[in-house]
Amino acid sequence: QSNGIVVAAGGDGTLNAVAQATLGSGCEFGVIPQGTFNYFGRSHGIPADATEATRALLTARVYPVQVGLVNGRVFLVNASLGLYRQSLEDREEQKKRFGRSRLIAAWAAVGTILRGYRPLLIKLQRDDEELELRTLTLFVGNNHLQLEQIGLDTDVVEDGNLAALVLRPVSTLALLGLLVRGAMGRLSKARGVDSFALTRLTVTPSNPRIRRLKIATDGEVAWMNTPIEFRVAPEPLLLLKPIHTTPESEAR
């Protein structure tokens, strides 16, 4: 229904699914965070407590929020392919066995690295520039809180851009070191890590026989046909944002 209000309760993956249906509808979007990391809710000052988040909706105001798209699919926090995407799949398997927690998520990431991952050979097209490279993962971020936590430039996503991170092939030991650096917020200057801003980025496998790639959007994984296009959505999500709360990254 146009000009209505849609409220989603859940983690970033659930919010993603509801935002996909809400974007462009003219409806306002309310959030009750219920996930493990809750990057989207935390970055917009939405209380983690369900009762407080519900109460905050009663006096919330509409705030336009930038959304990313990958092959037309919404992402609120990030989209990725390669090793990071694989770690998210492994994390979901560990959650089914041991429950939902940040410790389980960290352990799953270590397990993914120790098993090894074959690099991808891809072509990147950005504006008039084309680059072919071998990478373990391509990560495209749209959430300043997550970018701040791993040590990337947070101003990028405030200026109508997305933030991309490319991880070059490195040894298993070096990968474990990068995981630690990311946890300490020092990933941007690490060897083997390249980052840049973008409004549109097209990814094509160098092998023309590869016609589909697995892509993760806010933790949910799906096959997508190549080429893979990342871009900023042409219109914002109409988020209902609490009036008297402060985003977590600004409160520290």
pLDDT digits (tens, 9 = 90+) for 107-126: 567 777 777 778 999 999 99
Q: What is the 3-state secondary structure (H, E, C) of 10-65?
A: ECHHHHHHHHHHHCCCCCEEEEEECCCCCHHHHHCCCCCCHHHHHHHHCCCEEEEE
- Cα 181 from chain centroid? 18
Q: What's the confidence (pLDDT) of residue 184?
A: 74
Name residues of the chain where pLDDT drops below 70: 1-2, 91-92, 94-108, 244-252
> Contact 50/35 with Cβ under 8 angstroms?
no
Our CA angle for 58, 60, 65, nearest 5°, is 140
End-to-end CA distance of the chain: 39
| Alpha helix stretches (DSSP H) within the chain | 12-22, 39-43, 50-57, 83-98, 102-115, 144-150, 172-183, 248-251
pTM: 0.86
Give the closest residue to 69 by CA, choosing from 156, 162, 6.
Answer: 162
In this prediction, residue 177 carries a pLDDT of 83
Distance (Å, whole) CA 117 – CA 129: 28
Q: Are 47 and 251 in contact (CB under 8 A)?
A: no
Cα angle value 19/32/97 (rounded, 5°): 90
Q: How many residues does the chain have?
A: 252
pLDDT digits (tens, 9 = 90+) for 30-82: 999 998 889 999 999 999 999 999 999 999 999 999 999 999 999 999 999 99
